[in-house]
Amino acid sequence: IVVFGSARFRETSEAQALLEQAQIAGDAQAIARANTLLRNAPYYDHARAFARTVARYSARCEKAGMPEDRLFICTGGGPGIMEAANRGAKDAGGRSVGCNIRLPFEQSHNPYLDRWVTMEHFFVRKTLLIKYSYGFIIMPGGFGTMDEMFEALTLIQTKKLKSFPIVIMGSDFWPEMRHFMDHMLCGATISPEDLDLIKWTDSVDEAVAHLQEKAVTQFGLRRSRIPKSIPLLGEKALEGAH
């Protein structure tokens, strides 16, 4: 399950500490930045809680003798929401992976990944995240998050990709986006069934239940022998723990 969202968010305690430091320094710009981080921090905490719940769900599946029902977290491997999801999985003893991108200002993967691969191009990373996933969780984010979300919706809409669950969380961030989608519907640029591709919820348990129903049941996930890797897109072996 791939979790998308802003790379700019921080956890509540870190944002609060930055705000206190800025207030002590009396730096107005730093105070404004820290206040923004603190306002957005619940999204980081929410993504972490979601991934923690997924990891616990998968542990219960393993214990119950149903390893084929397990779900695992994958992210873009960077900071912010991506870090939060990988961190949440690790909190609960779960494993997660990341498809990191090499950027001038974001050189390394976050420290909570078990395995990762680093690549140069966004289109390759996006293709891998879609190719190897069974569902998307969309948290608040910027241009990159919108790009990833709308490409997945387009691929499903045009039947290039078998329909899989897309869950959007963080409802207070999305009112204008939902209004815009309704505007597209009114303008007949999308169909009513296109909006049915999206599950809107802030409930972690509801999101996990939706993924279990739409991913595990729909795709009939079962453990099978891992096929020999064929690097069609220039993929390299994952780094990290075995």
CB half-sphere exposure, 175, CA atoms < 13 A: 1
Burial class (CB in 10 A: 0-12, 13-18, 19+), 190: middle
> Strand runs (DSSP E) across the chain, as ranges?
2-4, 73-75, 96-101, 115-119, 136-138, 166-168, 198-200, 239-240
Residue 32 domain flag: no
Residue 214 domain flag: yes
The mean per-residue pLDDT over the stretch 64-91 comes to 93
Residue 68 domain flag: yes
Report the 10 Å Cβ neighbour count for 110.
Answer: 22
Q: What is the pLDDT of residues 38-57, one digit of tens each?
A: 999 999 999 999 999 999 99
Would you state the structure tokens that stand for residue 39, as one six-digit string? 């306002």
Tell me what percent of the residues of the chain surpass a pLDDT of 70.
Answer: 88
Average pLDDT across the chain, whole number: 88
Residue 18 domain flag: no
Residue 35 domain flag: no
CA-closest candidate to residue 11, choices 31, 35, 36, 40: 40
What total number of domains does the chain contain? 1
Cα-based angle 97, 99, 103 (whole degrees, multiple of 5): 135
Give residue for tokens 């729909």: 218
Task: Give pTM, 2 decimals.
Answer: 0.85
Q: What is the pLDDT of residues 145-162, one digit of tens each?
A: 999 999 999 999 999 888
The mean per-residue pLDDT over the stretch 188-194 comes to 95
Residue range of the domain that includes 197: 2-11+41-240
Would you state the structure tokens that stand for residue 230, as one six-digit string? 């064929």
CATH number at residue 83: 3.40.50.450
Residue 23 domain flag: no
Residue 25 domain flag: no
Residue 45 domain flag: yes
Asked if the model's pLDDT at residue 108 lies above 80, the reply is no
DSSP, collapsed to helix, strand or coil, labels residue 155 as helix
